[in-house]
Structure 1
Amino acid sequence: MTQVPPARYLMRAKDLADARYAEPVTVEDLAAAAGLSRAHFSRMFTRTFGESPGAYLQTRRLERAASLLRHTDRSVADICAMVGLASVGSFTTSFARVYGLSPAAYRASMPPAAVYARIPSCILARDTRKTAHREKTR
């Protein structure tokens, strides 16, 4: 039986974090995807990717939040929930630490809507919700 390099196992966990960032993914879930113990996984992930699994997941969530702030008219609270964060206060603090502005100030600093047309939330909801017809065609 051929052994798979540890990095391949870590990529499974990283892919899981990228795909399910909006869900309550834990380090234990990521470690299980990699087939490693939590402690060993955390050490290997940090050594390989330069940040802890929790920090990586937080980075993905904040990047997605920044995109939603730029391209939708959803409220900050809605975006917080959409990216898998529970507290608007901690989301605002984390976002400001990374981007230098609160989420509302970040949105206000973007070019006018004529340059980056925002997607109305009703259209976003309509086009991103799962329907029985869409599920059958996939």
Structure 2
Amino acid sequence: MESREQINAVWQMQNYIEGHLDEPITLHALAKSAGYSPWHCARIFKELTGKAPFEYIRMYRLSKAAMELRDNDIKVVDVAMDFLFDSHEGFTRAFRRQFGMSPNEYKKNTPPIYLFHPWSIREYYYWLRDMQEDAPPLSGDFFIQVRNFPKRKLLLKRGVSSDDYFSYSNENGCDVWGLLCSVKEALYEPVGLWLPDTLRPPGTSRYAQGVELPEDYGGTIPEGFDLIDLPECKMMMFQSAPYDDLHFEEAILNLSQIIDAYDPTRSGYEWADEAAPRFQLDPQGWRGYIEARPVRELP
């Protein structure tokens, strides 16, 4: 296991990059934020993230630039300058290498693309530590509401045998979430989901990742993804109290246990697990962990 000092140093560099993405970033500045020499910072950053600092910065800037082109009426050359590329041509070459198309092609069609979606290295390694130490679950308040969902489509990437996020990531890598975040027509944010047997072809996993789309969606279906119909349904939404991001694994475990033990008849419902996928939103400590399970009203 990497040392706490190395993990925190790389985390500090990630935070510096996040806060200065639209400014020139030097290795000296990264080293100053982490408290190590430039050479040592470059070495441990690549060891822990798998990418050299400036590769990481370039991929992140290109992904942010793609979202600007997707969401705003802005010239490609202006986006290139905003994200500190020296020229329109250099930006176009880098964009094509990362996404397989030119910025102009992407701006015109905005198909789903694999965005670079960096994860906090500190959260990852603290999760490994907690798993090894078998950390106890958190306790605390939670909030419940029932929401109606319309008929819609689900763009999803299936696994083979995964039952949760971590086994799914081992099967499919961490790039799926970045692609889902790029889908312009998304109704809501991407979700991790547990599929009922009725929505699982033989040989596919219970857990998957996807994003919900309008019922009439006719856009691109990326290679390796499926597009399926979801019926109108009711979902009982559970939301935990806010928590420290370092303890997201405990927050997930705690709320999942609460849901499994909860009696929905207290609220006039019963579980309807065959009707729709159970899903989880991206754990974010400031809002609490959110998970939803399908229900139907009692007669």
TM-score category by the smaller chain? 0.7 to 0.9
Q: Deviations over 1:1-32 (max 9, x none)?
A: xx952211111111111121110111221111
The correspondence of residues 31-50 of structure 1 with structure 2, limited to 5 A, is: 31-50=31-50
Amino acid at match of 2:85: L
The correspondence of residues 1-138 of structure 1 with structure 2, limited to 5 A, is: 5-110=5-110
Q: Is the 8 A contact 1:70 1:107 kept in 2?
A: yes
Q: Which has the higher helix share?
A: 1
Long gaps (5+) in structure 1:
117-138
Question: TM-score, with normalisation over the residues of structure 1?
Answer: 0.75
Long gaps (5+) in structure 2:
112-184, 187-299
Matched pairs, number: 112
Rounded Cα–Cα distance in structure 2 between residues aligned with 1:27 and 1:58: 14
Query: 1:133 is matched with which residue?
Result: none
Rounded Cα–Cα distance in structure 1 between residues aligned with 2:75 and 2:59: 20
> Structure 1 residue 60: deviation in Å?
1.1
- Deviating 4+ runs (over 3 angstroms): none
Identical positions, percent: 30
Q: Is the 8 A contact 1:18 1:60 kept in 2?
A: no
> Structure 1 residue 76: deviation in Å?
0.6
Q: Is the 8 A contact 1:18 1:57 kept in 2?
A: no
Rounded Cα–Cα distance in structure 1 between residues aligned with 2:84 and 2:99: 18
Structure number with the bigger relative contact order (C-alpha 8 A, sep ≥ 6) is 1
Q: Is the 8 A contact 1:21 1:61 kept in 2?
A: yes
Aligned to 1:21, what secondary structure does the other structure show? coil
Say which one has the larger Rg: 2
Aligned to 2:62, what secondary structure does the other structure show? helix
Rounded Cα–Cα distance in structure 2 between residues aligned with 1:89 and 1:31: 31
